[in-house]
Amino acid sequence: MEKDLSISRRSLIQNIALTTMGIGLAQFISCKQGAGKEKDQKEMKSLLPFYIPPKIPLQPGPGGIDIRTWVKSSQTNRQFSCVETAVAARRMGPAPHVHQDLDELMLVLEGTVTVMVNGKVEEIQSGGWHFRPRKLEHTFWNSSEKPLRFIDMYFNQNFEDFLEELFHQIFPEMIKKHLTPADPQIAEQLKNLDKRFGVTTFPEKRQAIIDKYGLIG
């Protein structure tokens, strides 16, 4: 009988201990979750509304292609950014490439863009959308005789900074010094830029597309 009472008391103590631990663990998890929610709320509160007035449509410029940033990732807690891209008639876009972390959504504003994803070619006309998730090899070009303009939207990465550096720093330097992407100085800059933004580029595949579709490089 005493043995049974001893076992009962031991079981009772164990149950109380486990219950107490459970309450403590629940409170700990609740506190952690609450802290996480509070942090998220603070981060969301740091976002402010903003307005971007309309601008004159972007032109391709002397290089045949140009970009203009509309929304910077710094304005959206690195959740979203977008740029406007203008491409001249018959102009090839970038060499086929892969993004490690970036997802892209394109909205065509004017003209028709030809997009290649993992070897599959599609034409997206004005008003059409095209989504390119990360880790898929892709590129684009304008095979028509009319100018092309589109908005490219970027998620999960500040890719507008990549494009700003490429189009407004590296390319002008190339033009000023009469250099090509094959020049060691420029090639090193391009390599470092790709590495910083998780981009793998296949420059050797670009010329074949230019030749096949009669484009300007």
Inside any domain, residue 55: no
Same domain as 95, residue 201: yes
What is the tens place of the pLDDT at every residue in 90-134? 999 999 999 999 999 999 999 999 999 999 999 999 999 999 999
Same domain as 172, residue 108: yes
Would you say 140 and 116 are in contact if contact means Cβ atoms under 8 Å apart?
Answer: yes
> Residue 196's pLDDT is what?
97
> Residue 64's pLDDT is what?
95
State the DSSP H helix or E strand holding residue 124, giving kind and residue range, or none if neither: strand 120-125
Inside any domain, residue 58: no
> Residue 117's pLDDT is what?
98
C-alpha distances in angstroms, 188 versus 156, 180, 181, 182, 195? Answer: 26, 12, 9, 9, 11
State the DSSP H helix or E strand holding residue 66, giving kind and residue range, or none if neither: strand 65-71
Same domain as 194, residue 142: yes
Is pLDDT at 12 greater than 50 in this prediction?
no
Same domain as 148, residue 181: yes
What is the tens place of the pLDDT at every residue in 17-64? 444 444 444 454 455 565 555 555 555 568 899 999 999 999 998 889
Annotate 73-93 with DSSP letters as a single string.
GGGTTTSEEEEEEEE-TTBB-
What is the tens place of the pLDDT at every residue in 139-171? 999 999 999 999 999 998 999 999 999 999 999
Same domain as 184, residue 130: yes
C-alpha distances in angstroms, 97 versus 20, 153, 203, 205? Answer: 56, 17, 8, 10
Same domain as 168, residue 134: yes
Host domain of residue 124: 65-213
User: Cα Rg for the chain, rounded, in angstroms?
Assistant: 27
Q: What is the pTM of this model?
A: 0.78
